[in-house]
Chain A
Amino acid sequence: EAQVTQNPRYLITVTGKKLTVTCSQNMNHEYMSWYRQDPGLGLRQIYYSMNVEVTDKGDVPEGYKVSRKEKRNFPLILESPSPNQTSLYFCASGFRENTEAFFGQGTRLTVV
């Protein structure tokens, strides 16, 4: 089954404790991206990647890191999480920027 898989689905952590949210797709997509969704603000792009070893900042990259060492994986790293990073996070992938983006099921992160 074609899908984008994120883990974990839910996470509660403490300020400053490094965490990684994994994202994997099995559709051989070149494009992958991370978004956060907050009430009233819609989805905002954090980072995106056009291919292996090619990443770029989105609208809200501060406090996040990514890597794209393999085509299928695009982990999101929070080196020192803070409460303002409490949000719903989505990973997405697609063949190109003008085609359908497929989303993972989301990760609900709470930083206390």
Chain B
Amino acid sequence: RKEVEQDPGPFNVPEGATVAFNCTYSNSASQSFFWYRQDCRKEPKLLMSVYSSGNEDGRFTAQLNRASQYISLLIRDSKLSDSATYLCVVNTYDYKLSFGAGTTVTVRA
């Protein structure tokens, strides 16, 4: 079983729509959680960290559910520029970051 699993999508949504997707992780000892964004095989860039109480950054909301071992990302009022692959990243221990394969989001005009 993969340490981090994501629905690959693609999620194809119109501008202004809300899109949400999850990521599950297998190790209950996981400590830190992140969402990264990757454009067209370029380098990944941090979108946001995910905190236990959930957190928002503008149109983006991240949630963590430790009991069910998943994190989620919700994008409100989608923009064309939100089209990208979103990587779920989990830190298990000692510098070991585990990456999901990514969820592709395409926002259409």
Q: Which residues of A contact B (CB under 8 A)?
A: 31, 33, 35, 37, 40-45, 48, 50, 56, 58, 88, 90, 97-98, 100-101, 103-106
Contact = CB atoms under 8 A, between A and B. Distances in A.
23 contacts: A31-B95, A33-B95, A35-B99, A37-B41, A42-B4, A42-B87, A42-B99, A43-B87, A43-B99, A45-B97, A50-B94, A50-B95, A90-B44, A97-B91, A97-B95, A97-B97, A98-B32, A100-B46, A100-B49, A103-B43, A103-B44, A105-B42, A106-B43
Contact of B41 (A41, A44, A106): A106
Given A97-B95, A100-B46, A106-B42, 4 more contacts: A35-B99, A42-B100, A58-B96, A97-B94
A93 to B, nearest CB: 11
Contacts of B31: 98
A60 B96 CA distance: 12
Nearest to B34: A100
Contact residues of A: prevailing secondary structure? strand
A105 B44 CA distance: 9
B79 to A, nearest CB: 23
Given A42-B102, A98-B31, A98-B32, A88 B41 contact: yes
Nearest to A106: B43
Given A40-B101, A42-B87, A42-B101, A105 B43 contact: yes
A88 B28 CA distance: 30
Interface string B86-109: 010001001111011110000000
B4 to A, nearest CB: 8
Nearest to A30: B95
